[in-house]
Amino acid sequence: MRVLTKQGFLIEEQDRTYLAEADRQSALLPLQAASCTYRIALGPRAGQKVLSLQSVPSPDKPTTPNLCAKLHGFTLHAAMRWGADQRKELEHPCRYITRPAIANERLKRNRAGDVVLQLKSAFKDGTTHIVMSPLEFMQRLAALVPRPRLHLIRFHGVLAPNAKLRSEIILSPVEQATEPARELRRQLKDHRLS
């Protein structure tokens, strides 16, 4: 992590680590950088931190093991595992990965006209809400726009492009083309025998 940070690939700031932007010409770069550091990119308050509302954490909060590891800004969830035939259980992660960027139920406007975003769960420092002007809110939304020609789906493990066992589970284009023909021949053969 230290080597990647020294070389400029990772950026660390107050218990947060994020990847440095590779495309230096992108118009979204200042918005994304400000969003990652909880700062305002444009307008009269440019460079200032976003206003956050915090609550006092309760000391008697029960801790339950949830098989989730968080380290250097990265999160690993190890409690989710289902078989392909468990359709009802698979629905939960499918809904999670297709969710919108912001839940409308947690987004409000206060009397001053500012946008108040209620967080799903409080941050470590007790932050429960983030208050932004409409312009600041649009800057944060613009930071969610992916760079052009960026692959949004990444495969790891056996599905990764250079995995040794990938050929065992993924059909090659030639095999994909001949698979329906083999199945048709098998069905015709079974039909003749019956």
pLDDT tens track for 7-19: 776 677 656 665 6
Q: Encoding tokens for residue 59?
A: 């000391």
CA dist 88 → 77, 82, 177 (Å): 19, 10, 32
Same domain for 137 and 177, yes or no, is no
Domain contains 150: no
- What mean pLDDT do residues 99-123 have? 88
84: pLDDT strictly greater than 70: yes
181: pLDDT strictly greater than 90: no
Same domain for 15 and 92, yes or no, is yes
Domain contains 97: yes
Same domain for 171 and 132, yes or no, is no
Domain count along the chain: 2
According to the model, what pLDDT value does residue 111 have?
Answer: 94
Domain contains 149: no
Please report which confidence band the pLDDT of residue 150 belongs to, taking 50, 70 and 90 as the band edges.
low
Q: What is the average pLDDT value for the chain, to the nearest integer?
A: 76
According to the model, what pLDDT value does residue 180 have?
Answer: 65
H or E stretch including 193? helix 173-193
Please report which confidence band the pLDDT of residue 90 belongs to, taking 50, 70 and 90 as the band edges.
confident
Domain contains 185: yes
Same domain for 108 and 191, yes or no, is no
Angle at alpha carbon of residue 147, lines to 32 and 49, rounded to 5°: 5
Q: Which of 144, 164, 179 is the last residue of a domain?
A: 144
Same domain for 57 and 119, yes or no, is yes
According to the model, what pLDDT value does residue 64 have?
Answer: 53
44: pLDDT strictly greater than 90: no
Same domain for 52 and 126, yes or no, is yes
Same domain for 76 and 166, yes or no, is no
What are the start-end ranges of the E strands in the chain? Answer: 10-13, 16-19, 51-54, 68-71, 74-77, 107-109, 115-118, 127-132
Instruction: List the domain range (segments joined by +) for residue 176.
Output: 155-194
Please report which confidence band the pLDDT of residue 112 belongs to, taking 50, 70 and 90 as the band edges.
very high
86: pLDDT strictly greater than 80: yes
- CA–CA separation, 184 vs 139, rounded Å? 55
H or E stretch including 31? helix 29-36
Residues in the chain: 194
More confident residue, 189 or 90: 90
35: pLDDT strictly greater than 90: no
Same domain for 122 and 180, yes or no, is no
